[in-house]
Chain A
Amino acid sequence: MNFTVPDSQSPAALPAQPPDARRRWMAALARADRASLEAAWRDLPERPGYRHLRQPEIGLAMVRGRMGGTGQRFNLGEMTVARATVRIDQGPEGAGAVGFGYVAGRDLRHAELAALFDALLQDDAHRPMLMAALIVPLERAAAEARTARERAIQASKVEFFTMVRSRE
């Protein structure tokens, strides 16, 4: 199955929050490891009921790039993506926020958890607590992991010196 990223005209894709804020937490949730999301979900004071609007599923998404960020678009290749869409139950009518989770790889539960937290984060009552308790630590952990990896790579860095190229 090939995924198409929800386009901006679909009402489902309209963000309830300023896009930057939502993009920030969706990115943090997608990059988090599943265990920390599972723990955060378990530690929630009250876990809401939810139903799947779209069952968690695995598919392919085309990754596109631009040479130098400005050139012609080209297809880099396809990557495996797991996604899920949930709606949180709220009140007797049961029409809460809709959350989307798109996660690299094949971890369906990770996608489901990311979707659940995306739905919760759209709720003004939950957002401050979740941002402080979940998103900020996730971002910090991701930044630390990145720094550690950069440092490890830096240690093995080899400098190459090339002669002036012949045709120039």
Chain B
Amino acid sequence: MNETLSPGFADPVGAAQATFRAVLTALSEPGKLLELELAPDLGFRPPAPLGLAAAAIALSLLDGDTPLWCDPASRPATPSLRFHTGAPLVETPESARFALIADPALLPSLAAFDAGSDEYPDRSATLIIEVAAFGPRATGGTALVLRGPGIPERRSLAVRGLPAGFLAEWRANHARFPRGVDVILTAGAQLAGLPRSTLIEEL
């Protein structure tokens, strides 16, 4: 039981602020590939199986008021996340404010998550999805072309490990704007944001 608790940020304020800044950039400039640098924070160890970015985002954004849903692959990390954040775990995706997905192949339909309401579109779920790799490392992956707010003309992003059918799901998610879910893709220490306002096409 004790092995399941992993150390949190050694510098909680600084590390959470750096992570928050990265998430803000990722969601305001969709598809921009960011690398989270917590180098001075030597004590921090992401709880298995989460990558550094996914764990840092979870530690920065979760608290006692954000119900969390974890896919079966990320369940081993839940004791640590509960310990550090106090976030309540929920059994069903639709009641979660945040969702952690360590195995994108088994990603539930995006429509299964809370898309908010027309009055309060901000009360929707944010999905943190750990993919295999980004950018030049994503050989054999999908080349995405992104358009929308925060992107001058278009931006390309190569991702390996997106589930089949994600683009069709995303089109449906985009179509119900202002409702919809936002996605943060992570791979190790890297992250890229996909807010609901972004249009995604395959190259």
Contacts and interface: CB of A to CB of B under 8 A. Distances in A.
Interface residues of B, number: 19
- Which of B6, B11, B82 has the most A CB atoms < 10 Å from its CB? B82
B135 interface: no
A105 interface: no
Contact of B8 (A14, A54, A95, A98): A54
B84 interface: yes
Contacts of B4: 11
Contact residues of B: prevailing secondary structure: loop
Contacts of B11: 55
Contact of B83 (A12, A95, A96, A97): A12
Interface residues of A, number: 18
B43 A97 contact: no
Interface in A136-164: none
Interface of B: 1-12, 43, 64, 79, 82-84, 86
14 contacts: A4-B64, A10-B82, A10-B83, A12-B5, A12-B79, A12-B82, A51-B43, A53-B7, A53-B8, A53-B83, A54-B8, A55-B10, A87-B2, A98-B5
Interface of A: 4, 6, 10-12, 14, 51-55, 57, 85, 87, 95-98
